[in-house]
Amino acid sequence: MIITEEVLKMSSERADGEHPVDLAPHKEKKHRSQFEAESISTLICFCLVSFNTSDMSSDCRFVDLSNSLESVPVLIEQRSSALTFPQFQYSPDNVQGPGCTLDPSEVTLPGCSCLSHSCSSESCSCLQTHGQAYDSTHTLLHRTHSGYCSPVFECNALCSCGDACSNRVVQRGLTLKLEVYSTEKRGWGVRTLKSIPKGTFVCEYAGEVISFEEARRRQLAQRAEDNNYIIAVREHAGEGSVTETFVDPAKVGNVGRFLNHSCQPNLLMQPVRVHSVVPRLA
């Protein structure tokens, strides 16, 4: 069964003229209660092209935004800025929010019985059922059908394979050095501190997983000057089956909430399921 996905974004424009999540081309602004459908190939968080290391100023001081919750520090550039840094609770993973009937941290998917160092498609039930998503270097393989991404299922907590399995990527968490910094005209943004090869996992877009009703309530309650971070992913399966996931990192989230819009995006979003049927937006 082939699943195709498309992204729906809440069309509320930020005060500084950007959408913090949307990486698709600009569209005409619409009423805030209306959703816009966008191709998933325009979003986050796998690298589409190789990144080069950003130039860093030696006179800047940095603090860890994640408070050591990530395996590598998420740096904040501490140079003078007229921007007020948003207040939120940092969480590397999705958390259950209002209206969400499933706990994203609950293990609900079956595991494989592989005893090898790393799973192979010849013997792993996970790979046989869902297909191979990564190569031996943990790089995302090209998995698109008619312009849409195929689903990714990683080995999980119930699998017998080890932590070094090549089918465990997103669950390893952040491994790249990223910096949140003040851009000249686009508010806060994220840049890499080292070169990133194409197809490398960068970060999740983590936050509260909420219901459609809660997402709509929050959007309608926003003021014109408020930032909108809500993202919705719609996954289409056979015979008209549709699964929707709404994530809001405004109050609880990770470094992904600072990713900015681009008309020429260099990141791709890929829903990834690890332990739960609730996808991670990686």
Say what the pTM is: 0.79
Q: What average pLDDT does the segment 106-130 reach?
A: 93
Q: What is the DSSP string of 144-172?
A: EETTEEPPEE---TT-SS-TT-TT--GGG
4-106+174-281 classified as CATH 3.40.50.740: no
Strand partners, 248: 208
**Given this model, what pLDDT does residue 81 score?**
63
Of the candidate ranges 36-40, 59-63, 170-174, 183-187, the one whose mean pLDDT is the lowest: 36-40
The burial class, CB within 10 Å (0-12 / 13-18 / 19+), for 36 is: middle
CB atoms < 10 A from the CB of 154, how many?
A: 25
- Kindly report, residue by residue over 97-107, the tens digit of the pLDDT: 999 999 999 99
More confident call, 172 vs 81: 172
CA separation (Å) from 154 to 41, 72, 75, 171? 20, 22, 28, 8
Of the candidate ranges 28-37, 79-88, 93-102, 215-224, the one whose mean pLDDT is the lowest: 28-37
Annotated domain spans of the chain = 4-106+174-281
More confident call, 37 vs 83: 83
